[in-house]
Amino acid sequence: MKRLAILIVFTCLVLISTGCHALPGAVPPSSSPQSPSAEPAPPALATEASVVRVIDGDTIEVDIAGNLYRVRYIGIDTPETVHPTRGEELYGKEASAKNKELVEGKEVHLEKDISDTDKYGRLLCYVWVGDLLVNAELVRLGYAQVATYPPDVKYQDLFLQLQREAREAGRGLWATTRPAQPITQGTYVGSIQSDKYHYPDCYWAQQIKPENLIWFSSAKEALDMGYVPCKVCGPPDQ
């Protein structure tokens, strides 16, 4: 009920502020995703908000017409700083600090994709400061990794391109990984605690505890054991 109430209030505010147009920056299901070669531009319709607090690298609290909402950035994930079980992760403080630098105390525009909220009731948005897409900037600088959850995929190709560039340049969290595990044990690596397999030098492969490591000689071996490719490093899926 709480999530439904938040959604109803948010929708009403948007309808009022946009003259009864569709939800802010909504992309119809038939719309094509953003081309990675195209420079992203702020949407014609978006919800204006004031950032009152930065919670971490990918979550903020905003004021929309006098009401407070939590906003989760779409399409990206930053290392945790306040997670109840995982605690503080490598490069989490730096990601949070960069997010503060980009948005804290500023007027922003919130662009919606397909989904309205996540399972925690947070608004799902692309966040713009002027012509800057903050989600993309955090990926470009290496403070965030791509985390795609369909159907919210408008900027997926752009984010993946920026992540490849950040990784190749060794920016941010891509420069702070431990030396890669030796590849003598296999071509790909996974954890017995998850269902993903990675290249050994993937950021998330480097976070696997030694006692949880499992090695695969091929993608087929990993797939046959029920593992799926990591969306960050992108090992082959066949």
Q: Which residues are catalytic?
A: 72, 80, 122
Is residue 69 classed exposed, middle or buried when 0-12, 13-18 and 19+ CB atoms within 10 A define those classes? buried
How is residue 87 annotated by DSSP?
B
Nearest to 95 by CA among 54, 144, 148, 61: 144
Computed over its alpha carbons, how large is the radius of gyration of the chain? 19
Cβ contact 91:79 at 8 Å? yes
Q: In 10 A of CB 83, how many CB atoms? A: 12
DSSP 190: E
CA distance 172 to 158: 18
